């Protein structure tokens, strides 16, 4: 088991306290490659991803590559993803691999081996997962995260409007499905300090109240939806309330559309960090 200071919760807390509370997605979809005047090819993918790493990995707390945009190029794209993860982590950023995996039995064990085993070329600090085959089916992910000092982010109340039909559906005891998932995640985190390994994805664009005390999760709250999807850092307080200290605001297009110029990407990201610090009530100065 990792030392207390090497757990995901401790490493994430340190990264946000020193670099600021911001996650930048690496989403090299075809339109964005075109906006950077790059070809929609493996070469364009590599240039895009490694430019983001060069610009931000030594100063942003978290980078979040979206696996699908690499997978669409087959094995060559996966090779770029491996290099992106490794170089980002080497530069000091924590990497959340946005893969949203979910399955049962030996399949989940294989996914956990792929993303949360230090011997894997796809090893990341954390991975996003879908709990909708049952929270208990995530056990291989959870066990690997605890053993290896990694994190798991469960989809709870997501920003896409279709999600509400499942996440806000009510269980026989009257609990919303998403809230039941958060309750199980909170139980797994227990009293870990400063945060447990199980985080949750909560959309920053949400307007309906979340039927769960997010502060009781004792885990990180990944908040996508800032920027292109319409949410602003100022919206975070309304969504997350007393849990602001554990929020990881996530931007992708709002930052990436300013590339490929590295100094410009850094300037935009620096302003985003400042805006999130102010919105979340961080007291320490900008770096």
Burial group, residue 232, by CB count within 10 angstroms (0-12, 13-18, 19+):
middle
In sequence order, the β-bridge partners of residue 154 are: 129, 200
- Cβ-contact 149, 123 below 8 angstroms: no
| Phi/psi of residue 23, nearest 5 degrees | -115, 130
Tell me how long the chain is. 287
Within 91-176, residue ranges assigned H as helices are: 105-116, 139-148, 164-167
Tell me, yes or no, if 100 is annotated catalytic. Answer: yes
Which residues in the chain belong to E strands, given as ranges?
23-26, 62-65, 94-101, 126-129, 151-157, 198-202, 221-226, 247-251
Question: 111 Cβ partners below 8 Å, 6+ apart?
Answer: 99, 101, 103, 127, 140, 141
Within 57-157, residue ranges assigned H as helices are: 67-71, 74-90, 105-116, 139-148
The tokens for 1 are: 């088991």
Residue 155 and residue 163: Cα distance in Å, rounded?
A: 10
Mapped onto helix, strand or coil, the DSSP state of residue 260 is coil
- Catalytic one among 14, 64, 100, 274? 100
From the CB of residue 96, how many other CB atoms can be counted at a distance below 10 Å?
Answer: 29
Residue positions annotated with a catalytic role = 100
């Amino acid at each position: 088991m990792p030392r207390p200071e090497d757990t995901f919760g401790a490493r994430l807390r340190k990264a946000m306290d020193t670099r600021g509370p911001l996650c930048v997605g690496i989403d090299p979809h075809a339109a964005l490659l075109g906006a950077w005047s790059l070809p929609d090819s493996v070469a364009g993918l590599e240039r895009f991803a490694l430019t983001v790493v060069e610009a931000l990995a030594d100063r942003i707390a978290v980078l979040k590559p979206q696996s699908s945009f690499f997978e669409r190029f087959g094995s060559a794209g996966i090779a770029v993803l491996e290099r992106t993860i490794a170089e980002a982590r080497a530069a000091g950023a924590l990497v959340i691999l946005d893969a949203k995996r979910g399955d049962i039995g030996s399949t989940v064990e294989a996914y956990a081996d792929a993303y949360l085993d230090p011997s894997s070329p796809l090893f990341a600090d954390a991975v996003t997962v879908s709990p909708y085959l049952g929270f208990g089916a995530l056990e291989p992910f959870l066990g690997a995260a605890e053993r290896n000092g990694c994190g798991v982010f469960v989809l709870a109340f997501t920003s896409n409007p279709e999600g509400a039909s499942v996440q806000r559906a009510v269980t026989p005891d009257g609990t919303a499905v998403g809230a039941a998932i958060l309750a199980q995640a909170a139980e797994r985190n227990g009293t870990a300090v400063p945060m447990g390994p199980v985080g949750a994805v909560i959309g920053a664009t949400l307007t309906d109240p979340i039927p769960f005390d997010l502060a009781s999760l004792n885990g990180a709250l990944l908040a996508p939806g800032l920027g292109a999807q319409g949410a602003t850092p100022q919206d975070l307080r309304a969504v997350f309330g007393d849990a602001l200290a554990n929020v990881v605001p996530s931007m992708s297009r709002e930052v990436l559309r300013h590339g490929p110029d590295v100094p410009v990407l850094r300037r935009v990201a620096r302003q985003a960090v400042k805006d999130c610090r102010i919105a979340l009530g961080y007291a320490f100065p900008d770096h």
